[in-house]
Amino acid sequence: MTVQPKKLLAIYGASGCGRSVMPVAATMLLSEDRDRCELLFIDDGRRDPIVNGRRVVTYAEFLREPAGSRQICIAIADSKVRARLAARCEQDGIASFGVVATNAVVMDEVEIGAGSILSPFVTIASNVRIGRCFHGNLYSYVEHDCVVGDFVTFAPGVKCNGNVHIGDFAYLGAGCVIKQGRPGAPLVIGEGAIVGMGAVVTKDVPAGATVVGNPARVS
């Protein structure tokens, strides 16, 4: 009997973000494949060999592990670090996998880029396009006809209403509310912008700006 090489799957990052993503990934990926897969953490600054019952290895060790195939999901909140690690994985031929909670809701005509994470109770409404390595944290939503760039982070409870365009690397803080745009005239949050916790965004946010308050203003 030939033993098939195992499939090695890793959550990159064993800090708070990664530890929250791990059980979601385990439920999604290992329910029917437990004997042929191993799901572990990658953390280059690791201290403990085991975190929450999962092995922790460095990226270099992950590359040396015997495996039939390898895939990584990057669970690190800093979008620029996510992008750098994604580029390294791509250069090394390591494929990305996404993590979607079983109770996340994804409606019609939705595109979600590789390596994205939808945490429990996230909703993505119809006709939405989302880029690579998106993080949608607990109870956040993206309403209809939105376009979200690469490496965007939604903290828990973000309310992004319809016809909003969000640039690459934007960060939306916990509980913020983004006013709905209009067809042909979307509300725009620029590349690298930061929306503060609880902010209420009623107009465009310039690229690289930080906005706070209700209504949100550049800080």
10-42: per-residue pLDDT in tens? 999 999 999 999 999 999 876 656 668 899 999
Q: Indicate if 102 and 198 belong to the same structural domain.
A: yes
Q: What Cα–Cα distance (Å) separates residue 84 from each residue in 5, 96, 129, 169?
A: 29, 14, 22, 12
Q: Kindly state whether residues 72 and 104 are assigned to the same domain.
A: no
Which of 42, 75, 97 lies at the terminal end of a domain, its last residue?
97
Regarding whether 169 and 102 lie in a shared domain, the answer is yes
pLDDT score for 36 = 81
Domain boundary among 97, 113, 145: 97
Considering the domain architecture, whether residues 71 and 144 belong to the same structural domain is answered as: no
Shared domain check, 129 and 185: yes
Domain of residue 59: give its range. 7-97
Q: Is 135 a catalytic residue?
A: no
Q: Is residue 2 a part of any domain in this protein?
A: no
Residues 198 and 104 in one domain: yes
Confidence of residue 1 (pLDDT cuts 50, 70, 90): very low
Note whether 88 and 134 are same-domain residues: no
Cα–Cα distance for residue pair 67/132, rounded to 1 Å: 25
Q: Are residues 114 and 186 in the same domain?
A: yes
> 202 and 103, same structural domain?
yes
Q: Which residues of 91-120 are buried (b: 16+ CB within 10 A; e: fewer)?
A: eeebebbbbbbeebebeeeeebbbbbbbbb
Q: Which residues pair with 194 in a beta bridge?
A: 171, 210
Regarding whether 172 and 73 lie in a shared domain, the answer is no
pLDDT in tens, 156-214: 999 999 999 999 999 999 999 999 999 999 999 999 999 999 999 999 999 999 999 99
Number of domains comprising the chain: 2
pLDDT of residue 2: 46
The catalytic position among 144, 151, 170, 171 is: 144
| CB-based contact 9:94 (threshold 8 Å) | no
* Domain assignment of residue 218, yes or no: no
Side-chain-side CA neighbours of 42 within 13 Å: the count stands at 22
146, 189: one domain: yes
Same domain, 165 and 128: yes
